[in-house]
Structure 1
Amino acid sequence: MEQKNGSSFTGFILLGFSDRPQLELPPLFAVFLVSYIVTIFGNLAIILVSQLDPKLHPPTYFFLPNLSLRDLCYTTGTVPQMLVNTCSGRKAISYGGCVAQLFMFLALGSTECLLLAVMSFHRFVAICPPLRYSVIMHRRLCLQLAAASWLSGFGNSGLQSTWTLQLPLCGRREVDRFFCEVPALPKLSCVDTTANEAELFFISVLVLLLPVTLILISCALIAQAVLRIRSAEGRRKAFGTCGSHLIVVSLFYGTMVSLFYGVITPMLNPLIYTLRNKEVKDAFKRLVARVFLAKK
Protein backbone atom coordinates (compact mmCIF):
# COMPACT_ATOMS: atom_id res chain seq x y z
CA MET A 1 0.00 0.00 0.00
CA GLU A 2 1.30 3.43 -0.90
CA GLN A 3 0.43 6.56 0.97
CA LYS A 4 -1.25 9.12 -1.25
CA ASN A 5 0.24 12.25 0.30
CA GLY A 6 3.77 11.01 -0.36
CA SER A 7 4.96 11.16 3.25
CA SER A 8 6.98 8.38 4.81
CA PHE A 9 4.70 5.61 6.09
CA THR A 10 6.39 3.50 8.74
CA GLY A 11 3.75 0.98 9.75
CA PHE A 12 0.41 0.29 11.37
CA ILE A 13 -1.23 0.23 14.79
CA LEU A 14 -3.01 -3.03 15.66
CA LEU A 15 -5.88 -2.05 17.93
CA GLY A 16 -6.89 -5.50 19.19
CA PHE A 17 -8.87 -5.09 22.42
CA SER A 18 -7.87 -1.44 22.86
CA ASP A 19 -11.45 -0.59 23.83
CA ARG A 20 -11.25 -3.25 26.60
CA PRO A 21 -7.74 -2.89 28.08
CA GLN A 22 -8.68 -4.99 31.12
CA LEU A 23 -8.71 -8.07 28.85
CA GLU A 24 -5.24 -7.61 27.46
CA LEU A 25 -2.84 -8.10 30.36
CA PRO A 26 -2.52 -10.53 32.01
CA PRO A 27 -5.58 -12.64 30.93
CA LEU A 28 -5.18 -12.37 27.15
CA PHE A 29 -1.39 -12.52 27.29
CA ALA A 30 -1.57 -15.74 29.32
CA VAL A 31 -4.01 -17.31 26.84
CA PHE A 32 -1.82 -16.36 23.87
CA LEU A 33 1.38 -17.59 25.55
CA VAL A 34 0.02 -20.94 26.73
CA SER A 35 -1.69 -21.58 23.39
CA TYR A 36 1.50 -20.74 21.48
CA ILE A 37 3.67 -23.03 23.61
CA VAL A 38 1.22 -25.94 23.30
CA THR A 39 0.89 -25.33 19.55
CA ILE A 40 4.67 -25.31 18.98
CA PHE A 41 5.39 -28.45 21.00
CA GLY A 42 2.28 -30.33 19.82
CA ASN A 43 2.84 -29.76 16.12
CA LEU A 44 6.61 -30.27 16.32
CA ALA A 45 5.97 -33.56 18.13
CA ILE A 46 3.62 -34.77 15.36
CA ILE A 47 6.10 -33.81 12.63
CA LEU A 48 8.94 -35.50 14.53
CA VAL A 49 7.11 -38.73 15.31
CA SER A 50 5.76 -38.93 11.74
CA GLN A 51 9.30 -38.83 10.40
CA LEU A 52 10.93 -41.15 12.96
CA ASP A 53 8.31 -43.89 13.34
CA PRO A 54 8.13 -46.28 10.35
CA LYS A 55 4.54 -47.23 11.18
CA LEU A 56 3.45 -43.66 10.37
CA HIS A 57 5.20 -43.58 6.97
CA PRO A 58 2.39 -45.16 4.86
CA PRO A 59 0.01 -42.82 2.95
CA THR A 60 -2.49 -43.19 5.81
CA TYR A 61 -0.57 -40.59 7.83
CA PHE A 62 1.06 -38.64 4.99
CA PHE A 63 -1.07 -35.48 5.32
CA LEU A 64 -0.91 -35.22 9.13
CA PRO A 65 2.58 -33.60 9.27
CA ASN A 66 1.53 -31.30 6.41
CA LEU A 67 -1.31 -29.94 8.53
CA SER A 68 1.00 -29.63 11.54
CA LEU A 69 3.56 -27.72 9.47
CA ARG A 70 0.84 -25.33 8.32
CA ASP A 71 -0.33 -24.73 11.90
CA LEU A 72 3.27 -24.22 13.05
CA CYS A 73 4.01 -21.63 10.34
CA TYR A 74 0.71 -19.83 10.85
CA THR A 75 1.03 -19.31 14.60
CA THR A 76 4.70 -18.33 14.32
CA GLY A 77 3.74 -15.63 11.82
CA THR A 78 1.06 -14.02 14.01
CA VAL A 79 1.14 -14.95 17.70
CA PRO A 80 4.62 -13.58 18.66
CA GLN A 81 3.59 -10.12 17.43
CA MET A 82 0.32 -10.45 19.34
CA LEU A 83 2.26 -11.31 22.51
CA VAL A 84 4.42 -8.20 22.08
CA ASN A 85 1.41 -5.99 21.41
CA THR A 86 -0.53 -7.13 24.48
CA CYS A 87 2.41 -5.91 26.59
CA SER A 88 2.95 -2.71 24.62
CA GLY A 89 1.00 0.51 24.87
CA ARG A 90 1.65 1.48 21.23
CA LYS A 91 0.86 -1.85 19.52
CA ALA A 92 2.83 -0.96 16.39
CA ILE A 93 3.88 -3.22 13.54
CA SER A 94 6.20 -2.28 10.70
CA TYR A 95 4.96 -2.04 7.12
CA GLY A 96 7.07 -5.06 6.15
CA GLY A 97 5.78 -7.04 9.11
CA CYS A 98 2.21 -6.22 8.19
CA VAL A 99 2.77 -7.29 4.58
CA ALA A 100 4.33 -10.57 5.78
CA GLN A 101 1.38 -11.25 8.10
CA LEU A 102 -1.10 -10.49 5.34
CA PHE A 103 0.62 -12.80 2.87
CA MET A 104 1.10 -15.68 5.32
CA PHE A 105 -2.44 -15.39 6.71
CA LEU A 106 -3.91 -15.74 3.20
CA ALA A 107 -1.44 -18.38 2.04
CA LEU A 108 -1.71 -20.69 5.02
CA GLY A 109 -5.46 -20.21 5.41
CA SER A 110 -6.01 -21.17 1.76
CA THR A 111 -3.61 -24.09 2.10
CA GLU A 112 -5.53 -25.48 5.06
CA CYS A 113 -8.82 -25.27 3.12
CA LEU A 114 -7.29 -27.38 0.37
CA LEU A 115 -5.47 -29.77 2.70
CA LEU A 116 -8.70 -30.50 4.59
CA ALA A 117 -10.44 -31.27 1.28
CA VAL A 118 -7.59 -33.57 0.23
CA MET A 119 -7.68 -35.31 3.62
CA SER A 120 -11.44 -35.82 3.25
CA PHE A 121 -10.85 -37.47 -0.12
CA HIS A 122 -8.19 -39.60 1.55
CA ARG A 123 -10.68 -40.73 4.21
CA PHE A 124 -13.25 -41.49 1.53
CA VAL A 125 -10.79 -43.72 -0.36
CA ALA A 126 -9.81 -45.46 2.89
CA ILE A 127 -13.43 -46.38 3.73
CA CYS A 128 -15.44 -46.62 0.52
CA PRO A 129 -13.21 -48.67 -1.80
CA PRO A 130 -10.78 -50.07 0.85
CA LEU A 131 -9.53 -52.92 -1.33
CA ARG A 132 -8.23 -50.33 -3.83
CA TYR A 133 -6.76 -47.95 -1.24
CA SER A 134 -3.12 -48.90 -1.74
CA VAL A 135 -3.53 -48.65 -5.52
CA ILE A 136 -5.23 -45.24 -5.50
CA MET A 137 -3.43 -43.49 -2.61
CA HIS A 138 0.15 -44.24 -3.59
CA ARG A 139 2.95 -41.97 -2.36
CA ARG A 140 3.31 -40.13 -5.67
CA LEU A 141 -0.35 -39.07 -5.65
CA CYS A 142 -0.06 -37.95 -2.02
CA LEU A 143 2.96 -35.81 -2.89
CA GLN A 144 1.12 -34.29 -5.86
CA LEU A 145 -1.99 -33.49 -3.81
CA ALA A 146 0.04 -31.93 -1.00
CA ALA A 147 2.16 -29.89 -3.43
CA ALA A 148 -0.97 -28.69 -5.26
CA SER A 149 -2.50 -27.57 -1.94
CA TRP A 150 0.56 -25.58 -0.88
CA LEU A 151 1.19 -24.04 -4.32
CA SER A 152 -2.48 -23.10 -4.82
CA GLY A 153 -2.65 -21.57 -1.34
CA PHE A 154 0.43 -19.42 -1.88
CA GLY A 155 -0.70 -18.51 -5.40
CA ASN A 156 -4.05 -17.32 -4.09
CA SER A 157 -2.27 -15.30 -1.41
CA GLY A 158 -0.01 -13.64 -3.97
CA LEU A 159 -3.04 -12.57 -6.00
CA GLN A 160 -5.12 -11.25 -3.08
CA SER A 161 -2.13 -9.59 -1.38
CA THR A 162 -1.22 -7.75 -4.58
CA TRP A 163 -4.76 -6.44 -5.00
CA THR A 164 -4.86 -5.29 -1.38
CA LEU A 165 -1.43 -3.65 -1.28
CA GLN A 166 -2.11 -1.64 -4.44
CA LEU A 167 -4.76 0.42 -2.65
CA PRO A 168 -3.53 3.94 -1.70
CA LEU A 169 -3.68 5.06 1.93
CA CYS A 170 -4.77 8.43 3.33
CA GLY A 171 -2.72 8.49 6.50
CA ARG A 172 -4.94 6.20 8.59
CA ARG A 173 -2.84 3.60 10.35
CA GLU A 174 -5.19 1.93 12.85
CA VAL A 175 -6.04 -1.68 11.96
CA ASP A 176 -9.02 -2.92 13.96
CA ARG A 177 -7.54 -6.40 14.36
CA PHE A 178 -4.87 -8.30 16.29
CA PHE A 179 -2.89 -8.79 13.08
CA CYS A 180 -2.94 -7.62 9.47
CA GLU A 181 -5.59 -9.33 7.34
CA VAL A 182 -7.62 -8.56 4.24
CA PRO A 183 -10.98 -7.48 5.74
CA ALA A 184 -9.33 -4.68 7.76
CA LEU A 185 -6.70 -3.23 5.40
CA PRO A 186 -8.97 -2.06 2.53
CA LYS A 187 -10.85 0.07 5.08
CA LEU A 188 -7.71 2.24 5.43
CA SER A 189 -7.77 3.22 1.77
CA CYS A 190 -8.80 6.71 0.61
CA VAL A 191 -10.44 5.50 -2.63
CA ASP A 192 -13.58 3.54 -3.44
CA THR A 193 -12.71 -0.11 -2.76
CA THR A 194 -16.03 -1.62 -3.86
CA ALA A 195 -14.63 -3.29 -6.98
CA ASN A 196 -11.51 -4.46 -5.14
CA GLU A 197 -13.53 -5.92 -2.27
CA ALA A 198 -15.87 -7.66 -4.75
CA GLU A 199 -12.87 -9.34 -6.44
CA LEU A 200 -11.43 -10.37 -3.09
CA PHE A 201 -14.80 -11.69 -1.95
CA PHE A 202 -15.24 -13.74 -5.12
CA ILE A 203 -11.81 -15.35 -4.82
CA SER A 204 -12.28 -16.01 -1.10
CA VAL A 205 -15.66 -17.67 -1.62
CA LEU A 206 -14.20 -19.77 -4.41
CA VAL A 207 -11.30 -20.91 -2.23
CA LEU A 208 -13.68 -21.75 0.62
CA LEU A 209 -16.66 -23.07 -1.34
CA LEU A 210 -14.96 -25.64 -3.56
CA PRO A 211 -13.09 -27.41 -0.72
CA VAL A 212 -16.10 -27.43 1.60
CA THR A 213 -18.27 -28.85 -1.20
CA LEU A 214 -15.77 -31.67 -1.70
CA ILE A 215 -15.65 -32.25 2.06
CA LEU A 216 -19.44 -32.48 2.33
CA ILE A 217 -19.65 -34.89 -0.63
CA SER A 218 -16.93 -37.08 0.91
CA CYS A 219 -18.72 -37.07 4.28
CA ALA A 220 -22.02 -38.07 2.66
CA LEU A 221 -20.39 -40.96 0.77
CA ILE A 222 -18.52 -42.06 3.87
CA ALA A 223 -21.75 -42.03 5.92
CA GLN A 224 -23.48 -44.20 3.30
CA ALA A 225 -20.57 -46.64 3.31
CA VAL A 226 -20.48 -46.84 7.11
CA LEU A 227 -24.21 -47.54 7.34
CA ARG A 228 -23.76 -50.50 5.00
CA ILE A 229 -21.19 -52.08 7.31
CA ARG A 230 -22.92 -54.87 9.22
CA SER A 231 -20.59 -55.37 12.19
CA ALA A 232 -20.48 -52.89 15.05
CA GLU A 233 -16.69 -53.22 15.19
CA GLY A 234 -16.41 -52.34 11.51
CA ARG A 235 -18.56 -49.26 11.96
CA ARG A 236 -16.51 -48.21 14.98
CA LYS A 237 -13.27 -48.45 13.02
CA ALA A 238 -14.76 -46.56 10.08
CA PHE A 239 -15.97 -43.73 12.32
CA GLY A 240 -12.59 -43.69 14.05
CA THR A 241 -10.87 -43.26 10.70
CA CYS A 242 -12.69 -40.03 9.89
CA GLY A 243 -13.86 -38.82 13.32
CA SER A 244 -10.76 -36.75 14.12
CA HIS A 245 -10.75 -35.18 10.69
CA LEU A 246 -14.41 -34.18 10.95
CA ILE A 247 -13.74 -32.45 14.28
CA VAL A 248 -10.85 -30.47 12.74
CA VAL A 249 -13.00 -29.53 9.72
CA SER A 250 -15.80 -28.39 12.05
CA LEU A 251 -13.36 -26.23 14.05
CA PHE A 252 -11.98 -24.66 10.88
CA TYR A 253 -15.27 -23.85 9.16
CA GLY A 254 -17.29 -23.32 12.33
CA THR A 255 -14.94 -20.79 13.97
CA MET A 256 -13.89 -18.44 11.19
CA VAL A 257 -13.20 -15.69 13.73
CA SER A 258 -9.60 -14.75 13.05
CA LEU A 259 -8.49 -14.65 16.71
CA PHE A 260 -9.86 -18.13 17.51
CA TYR A 261 -8.74 -19.55 14.17
CA GLY A 262 -5.23 -18.10 14.54
CA VAL A 263 -4.58 -19.06 18.16
CA ILE A 264 -6.85 -21.85 19.40
CA THR A 265 -7.41 -24.04 16.33
CA PRO A 266 -3.68 -24.72 15.62
CA MET A 267 -3.32 -25.74 19.28
CA LEU A 268 -6.28 -28.14 19.19
CA ASN A 269 -5.47 -29.86 15.88
CA PRO A 270 -2.52 -31.96 17.13
CA LEU A 271 -4.37 -32.80 20.35
CA ILE A 272 -7.41 -34.03 18.41
CA TYR A 273 -5.42 -36.20 16.04
CA THR A 274 -3.26 -37.56 18.87
CA LEU A 275 -5.97 -38.32 21.40
CA ARG A 276 -8.32 -39.98 18.88
CA ASN A 277 -5.76 -41.97 16.88
CA LYS A 278 -4.36 -45.15 18.43
CA GLU A 279 -1.45 -45.48 15.98
CA VAL A 280 -0.29 -41.91 16.64
CA LYS A 281 -0.57 -42.39 20.42
CA ASP A 282 1.41 -45.63 20.20
CA ALA A 283 4.05 -43.89 18.07
CA PHE A 284 4.41 -41.19 20.73
CA LYS A 285 4.82 -43.84 23.43
CA ARG A 286 7.51 -45.61 21.39
CA LEU A 287 9.34 -42.32 20.83
CA VAL A 288 9.23 -41.42 24.54
CA ALA A 289 10.45 -44.92 25.45
CA ARG A 290 13.36 -44.59 23.00
CA VAL A 291 14.32 -41.22 24.49
CA PHE A 292 14.31 -42.59 28.07
CA LEU A 293 16.28 -45.68 27.06
CA ALA A 294 18.85 -43.53 25.28
CA LYS A 295 19.40 -41.51 28.46
CA LYS A 296 20.07 -44.59 30.57
Structure 2
Amino acid sequence: MKNKRPNATNKNKTFRETEYIVKEDIELLPFLLQTLNNQSRNSVKSILTRGQVSVDGKVITKHNHPLTSGTKISIQGNQSAMKERALIGLEIIHEDEDILVVEKEAGMLSMATDNGQEVTVYSQLRHYVRQSNPQDRVFIVHRLDRDTSGVMLFAKNEKTKQYLQENWKNVVIERMYTALVEGEVKKEKGTITSWLTESKTFKIHSCPFDNGGKKAVTHYKKIRSNRNYSLLEVNLETGRKNQIRVHMEEIGHPIVGDKKYGASSNPLKRLGLHATSLIFVHPTTKKRMKFTSKVPKKFIKATKAQ
Protein backbone atom coordinates (compact mmCIF):
# COMPACT_ATOMS: atom_id res chain seq x y z
CA MET A 1 0.00 0.00 0.00
CA LYS A 2 1.52 3.31 -1.10
CA ASN A 3 0.61 6.45 0.78
CA LYS A 4 0.27 9.91 -0.67
CA ARG A 5 2.85 12.32 0.68
CA PRO A 6 1.68 15.28 2.79
CA ASN A 7 -0.36 17.84 0.87
CA ALA A 8 1.99 20.50 -0.47
CA THR A 9 -0.40 23.31 0.51
CA ASN A 10 0.13 22.46 4.18
CA LYS A 11 3.91 22.19 4.24
CA ASN A 12 4.58 25.75 5.44
CA LYS A 13 2.14 25.68 8.35
CA THR A 14 3.41 25.38 11.89
CA PHE A 15 0.86 22.61 12.36
CA ARG A 16 0.37 19.88 9.79
CA GLU A 17 -2.55 18.03 8.28
CA THR A 18 -1.31 15.05 6.32
CA GLU A 19 -3.38 13.43 3.60
CA TYR A 20 -3.36 9.85 2.34
CA ILE A 21 -5.26 8.01 -0.39
CA VAL A 22 -6.55 4.51 0.41
CA LYS A 23 -5.34 1.95 -2.17
CA GLU A 24 -7.43 -1.06 -1.11
CA ASP A 25 -10.55 -1.87 0.91
CA ILE A 26 -9.72 -1.91 4.62
CA GLU A 27 -11.06 -0.76 8.00
CA LEU A 28 -9.91 2.56 9.45
CA LEU A 29 -7.86 1.42 12.44
CA PRO A 30 -5.85 -1.20 10.50
CA PHE A 31 -5.21 1.43 7.80
CA LEU A 32 -3.88 3.87 10.39
CA LEU A 33 -1.72 1.23 12.05
CA GLN A 34 -0.15 0.42 8.68
CA THR A 35 0.23 4.06 7.70
CA LEU A 36 1.52 5.38 11.03
CA ASN A 37 3.82 2.39 11.60
CA ASN A 38 6.32 4.50 13.53
CA GLN A 39 3.79 4.99 16.35
CA SER A 40 2.48 2.57 18.95
CA ARG A 41 -0.97 1.01 18.68
CA ASN A 42 -2.18 3.04 21.68
CA SER A 43 -0.91 6.30 20.16
CA VAL A 44 -2.73 5.59 16.90
CA LYS A 45 -5.94 4.75 18.76
CA SER A 46 -5.63 8.03 20.70
CA ILE A 47 -5.31 10.01 17.46
CA LEU A 48 -8.52 8.37 16.28
CA THR A 49 -10.36 8.91 19.58
CA ARG A 50 -9.38 12.61 19.74
CA GLY A 51 -11.10 13.25 16.40
CA GLN A 52 -7.90 14.00 14.47
CA VAL A 53 -8.84 11.70 11.57
CA SER A 54 -11.17 12.71 8.72
CA VAL A 55 -12.51 10.40 6.03
CA ASP A 56 -13.42 12.35 2.87
CA GLY A 57 -13.71 15.50 4.97
CA LYS A 58 -15.79 14.03 7.81
CA VAL A 59 -14.32 13.33 11.26
CA ILE A 60 -14.55 9.62 12.07
CA THR A 61 -13.68 8.00 15.42
CA LYS A 62 -14.99 4.44 14.89
CA HIS A 63 -12.16 1.90 14.68
CA ASN A 64 -13.99 -0.40 12.25
CA HIS A 65 -15.17 2.30 9.84
CA PRO A 66 -14.91 0.73 6.36
CA LEU A 67 -12.64 2.35 3.77
CA THR A 68 -12.67 1.78 0.04
CA SER A 69 -10.03 2.37 -2.59
CA GLY A 70 -9.74 6.07 -3.48
CA THR A 71 -10.97 7.36 -0.12
CA LYS A 72 -9.06 10.40 1.19
CA ILE A 73 -7.83 10.25 4.77
CA SER A 74 -6.68 13.43 6.56
CA ILE A 75 -4.80 13.30 9.87
CA GLN A 76 -4.37 16.45 11.91
CA GLY A 77 -1.24 17.05 13.94
CA ASN A 78 -1.68 17.53 17.70
CA GLN A 79 -1.20 21.30 17.51
CA SER A 80 -3.95 21.70 14.94
CA ALA A 81 -6.33 19.52 16.93
CA MET A 82 -5.63 21.50 20.11
CA LYS A 83 -6.30 24.78 18.30
CA GLU A 84 -9.64 23.58 16.98
CA ARG A 85 -10.77 22.20 20.34
CA ALA A 86 -10.32 25.70 21.79
CA LEU A 87 -13.06 27.04 19.51
CA ILE A 88 -16.47 27.63 21.12
CA GLY A 89 -19.75 27.35 19.25
CA LEU A 90 -18.20 26.58 15.88
CA GLU A 91 -16.30 23.88 14.02
CA ILE A 92 -13.91 24.24 11.09
CA ILE A 93 -15.02 21.94 8.27
CA HIS A 94 -12.54 23.11 5.62
CA GLU A 95 -9.37 25.16 5.53
CA ASP A 96 -6.84 25.94 2.82
CA GLU A 97 -4.54 28.84 1.98
CA ASP A 98 -7.39 31.12 0.90
CA ILE A 99 -10.62 30.18 2.69
CA LEU A 100 -12.08 28.86 5.93
CA VAL A 101 -15.47 27.14 6.01
CA VAL A 102 -17.07 26.72 9.43
CA GLU A 103 -20.23 25.34 10.99
CA LYS A 104 -21.71 27.80 13.47
CA GLU A 105 -24.00 26.95 16.37
CA ALA A 106 -27.11 28.99 17.15
CA GLY A 107 -26.48 31.73 19.71
CA MET A 108 -23.04 32.73 18.43
CA LEU A 109 -22.59 36.15 16.81
CA SER A 110 -20.88 36.22 13.41
CA MET A 111 -18.98 39.37 14.32
CA ALA A 112 -18.91 41.98 17.08
CA THR A 113 -21.59 44.50 17.87
CA ASP A 114 -20.72 48.08 18.85
CA ASN A 115 -19.36 47.18 22.31
CA GLY A 116 -17.01 44.62 20.76
CA GLN A 117 -16.61 42.63 23.97
CA GLU A 118 -18.57 39.47 23.09
CA VAL A 119 -16.89 36.32 21.76
CA THR A 120 -17.82 35.90 18.09
CA VAL A 121 -17.08 33.55 15.22
CA TYR A 122 -14.84 36.21 13.67
CA SER A 123 -12.87 36.94 16.87
CA GLN A 124 -12.22 33.24 17.46
CA LEU A 125 -11.07 32.60 13.90
CA ARG A 126 -8.82 35.66 14.00
CA HIS A 127 -7.14 34.23 17.11
CA TYR A 128 -7.06 30.76 15.52
CA VAL A 129 -5.12 31.82 12.40
CA ARG A 130 -2.73 34.03 14.39
CA GLN A 131 -1.57 31.04 16.43
CA SER A 132 0.17 29.79 13.31
CA ASN A 133 1.45 33.19 12.19
CA PRO A 134 0.82 36.51 14.01
CA GLN A 135 0.56 38.22 10.61
CA ASP A 136 -2.28 35.97 9.38
CA ARG A 137 -5.73 37.48 9.06
CA VAL A 138 -9.30 36.38 8.44
CA PHE A 139 -12.11 38.27 6.68
CA ILE A 140 -15.85 37.81 6.98
CA VAL A 141 -17.52 37.28 3.59
CA HIS A 142 -21.17 36.80 4.61
CA ARG A 143 -22.99 36.65 7.93
CA LEU A 144 -25.54 34.53 9.72
CA ASP A 145 -27.85 35.96 12.36
CA ARG A 146 -26.90 35.14 15.94
CA ASP A 147 -29.65 32.53 16.29
CA THR A 148 -29.14 31.00 12.83
CA SER A 149 -26.86 27.96 12.72
CA GLY A 150 -25.00 26.33 9.86
CA VAL A 151 -22.34 26.88 7.18
CA MET A 152 -20.31 30.10 6.88
CA LEU A 153 -17.45 31.09 4.56
CA PHE A 154 -14.44 33.26 5.50
CA ALA A 155 -11.51 34.54 3.44
CA LYS A 156 -7.93 34.26 4.70
CA ASN A 157 -6.47 37.15 2.74
CA GLU A 158 -7.62 40.50 1.35
CA LYS A 159 -7.37 39.44 -2.28
CA THR A 160 -9.72 36.48 -1.71
CA LYS A 161 -12.15 38.59 0.33
CA GLN A 162 -12.34 41.22 -2.39
CA TYR A 163 -12.81 38.63 -5.12
CA LEU A 164 -15.59 36.83 -3.25
CA GLN A 165 -17.45 40.03 -2.40
CA GLU A 166 -17.18 41.50 -5.91
CA ASN A 167 -18.15 38.25 -7.64
CA TRP A 168 -20.51 36.78 -5.03
CA LYS A 169 -23.43 36.28 -7.44
CA ASN A 170 -21.26 34.38 -9.90
CA VAL A 171 -19.15 32.48 -7.36
CA VAL A 172 -22.01 31.17 -5.22
CA ILE A 173 -24.03 28.47 -6.96
CA GLU A 174 -26.40 27.68 -4.09
CA ARG A 175 -27.19 28.96 -0.60
CA MET A 176 -29.76 26.62 0.86
CA TYR A 177 -31.37 26.98 4.29
CA THR A 178 -33.77 24.83 6.26
CA ALA A 179 -36.54 26.75 8.01
CA LEU A 180 -39.01 25.54 10.62
CA VAL A 181 -42.06 27.78 10.32
CA GLU A 182 -45.35 28.14 12.14
CA GLY A 183 -48.45 26.55 10.70
CA GLU A 184 -49.09 24.08 7.89
CA VAL A 185 -47.83 25.48 4.59
CA LYS A 186 -50.30 24.38 1.91
CA LYS A 187 -48.24 25.10 -1.21
CA GLU A 188 -45.60 22.52 -2.08
CA LYS A 189 -43.28 25.22 -3.40
CA GLY A 190 -43.27 28.91 -4.18
CA THR A 191 -41.25 32.07 -4.86
CA ILE A 192 -41.47 35.32 -2.90
CA THR A 193 -40.33 38.57 -4.53
CA SER A 194 -40.39 41.92 -2.76
CA TRP A 195 -38.39 45.07 -2.04
CA LEU A 196 -36.87 45.42 1.43
CA THR A 197 -36.17 48.55 3.43
CA GLU A 198 -34.80 48.96 6.96
CA SER A 199 -36.44 51.21 9.54
CA LYS A 200 -34.70 53.36 12.15
CA THR A 201 -35.40 50.58 14.66
CA PHE A 202 -33.42 48.13 12.44
CA LYS A 203 -36.47 46.14 11.42
CA ILE A 204 -36.74 45.10 7.78
CA HIS A 205 -39.99 45.87 5.96
CA SER A 206 -41.21 44.23 2.78
CA CYS A 207 -43.07 45.86 -0.11
CA PRO A 208 -44.56 43.91 -3.07
CA PHE A 209 -43.57 46.64 -5.58
CA ASP A 210 -40.39 48.62 -6.18
CA ASN A 211 -40.39 51.37 -3.56
CA GLY A 212 -36.69 52.13 -3.81
CA GLY A 213 -35.73 49.28 -1.51
CA LYS A 214 -33.50 46.30 -2.26
CA LYS A 215 -35.04 43.58 -4.41
CA ALA A 216 -35.19 40.21 -2.63
CA VAL A 217 -36.11 36.83 -4.15
CA THR A 218 -36.64 33.70 -2.06
CA HIS A 219 -37.57 30.23 -3.32
CA TYR A 220 -39.02 27.62 -0.96
CA LYS A 221 -40.09 23.97 -1.08
CA LYS A 222 -42.01 22.10 1.60
CA ILE A 223 -40.22 19.07 2.99
CA ARG A 224 -42.80 17.95 5.57
CA SER A 225 -45.46 19.42 7.83
CA ASN A 226 -48.12 18.78 10.44
CA ARG A 227 -50.93 20.95 11.81
CA ASN A 228 -48.56 23.12 13.84
CA TYR A 229 -45.31 23.43 11.90
CA SER A 230 -43.77 23.06 8.45
CA LEU A 231 -40.20 22.28 7.46
CA LEU A 232 -39.08 24.18 4.37
CA GLU A 233 -36.05 24.07 2.10
CA VAL A 234 -35.26 27.68 1.25
CA ASN A 235 -32.96 28.88 -1.53
CA LEU A 236 -31.80 32.48 -1.80
CA GLU A 237 -31.60 34.16 -5.18
CA THR A 238 -30.54 37.34 -3.38
CA GLY A 239 -28.93 37.67 0.03
CA ARG A 240 -30.53 40.57 1.87
CA LYS A 241 -30.47 41.20 5.61
CA ASN A 242 -33.18 39.13 7.39
CA GLN A 243 -34.56 38.15 3.96
CA ILE A 244 -35.85 34.69 4.83
CA ARG A 245 -37.30 35.86 8.14
CA VAL A 246 -39.21 38.73 6.49
CA HIS A 247 -40.45 36.61 3.60
CA MET A 248 -41.72 33.82 5.85
CA GLU A 249 -43.72 36.37 7.83
CA GLU A 250 -45.04 37.75 4.53
CA ILE A 251 -46.59 34.41 3.52
CA GLY A 252 -48.15 34.03 6.96
CA HIS A 253 -45.74 31.39 8.27
CA PRO A 254 -43.11 33.12 10.42
CA ILE A 255 -40.04 31.20 11.50
CA VAL A 256 -40.52 29.65 14.94
CA GLY A 257 -38.84 31.62 17.70
CA ASP A 258 -38.76 34.77 15.55
CA LYS A 259 -40.81 37.15 17.69
CA LYS A 260 -39.40 40.14 15.78
CA TYR A 261 -41.06 38.90 12.59
CA GLY A 262 -44.39 37.61 13.81
CA ALA A 263 -43.75 34.27 15.55
CA SER A 264 -45.95 33.34 18.50
CA SER A 265 -44.18 30.11 19.47
CA ASN A 266 -40.64 29.05 20.37
CA PRO A 267 -40.55 25.24 20.70
CA LEU A 268 -36.83 25.08 19.86
CA LYS A 269 -35.74 27.79 22.31
CA ARG A 270 -33.91 29.31 19.34
CA LEU A 271 -34.61 30.61 15.83
CA GLY A 272 -35.79 27.85 13.48
CA LEU A 273 -33.34 28.69 10.70
CA HIS A 274 -30.29 26.66 9.63
CA ALA A 275 -27.80 27.29 6.79
CA THR A 276 -27.75 23.76 5.41
CA SER A 277 -25.77 23.96 2.18
CA LEU A 278 -23.28 26.27 0.49
CA ILE A 279 -22.04 25.52 -3.03
CA PHE A 280 -19.49 27.82 -4.63
CA VAL A 281 -16.58 28.00 -7.04
CA HIS A 282 -13.26 28.18 -5.18
CA PRO A 283 -11.75 31.66 -5.77
CA THR A 284 -8.30 30.27 -6.60
CA THR A 285 -8.61 26.69 -7.83
CA LYS A 286 -11.94 27.39 -9.62
CA LYS A 287 -13.18 23.99 -8.46
CA ARG A 288 -16.81 23.54 -7.45
CA MET A 289 -17.05 23.02 -3.71
CA LYS A 290 -20.04 21.93 -1.63
CA PHE A 291 -20.34 22.06 2.15
CA THR A 292 -23.36 20.86 4.08
CA SER A 293 -24.53 20.85 7.68
CA LYS A 294 -27.10 18.39 9.02
CA VAL A 295 -30.55 19.73 9.77
CA PRO A 296 -30.92 19.91 13.59
CA LYS A 297 -32.92 16.96 14.91
CA LYS A 298 -35.28 19.31 16.76
CA PHE A 299 -36.41 20.76 13.43
CA ILE A 300 -37.38 17.32 12.15
CA LYS A 301 -38.97 16.21 15.41
CA ALA A 302 -41.27 19.27 15.46
CA THR A 303 -42.81 18.26 12.12
CA LYS A 304 -43.51 14.60 12.85
CA ALA A 305 -47.00 13.38 12.02
CA GLN A 306 -49.50 13.95 14.83
TM-score for the superposition, normalised by structure 1: 0.25
RCO (CA 8 Å, sep 6+): is it higher in 1 or 2?
Answer: 1
TM-score for the superposition, normalised by structure 2: 0.24
Structure with the higher helix share, 1 or 2: 1
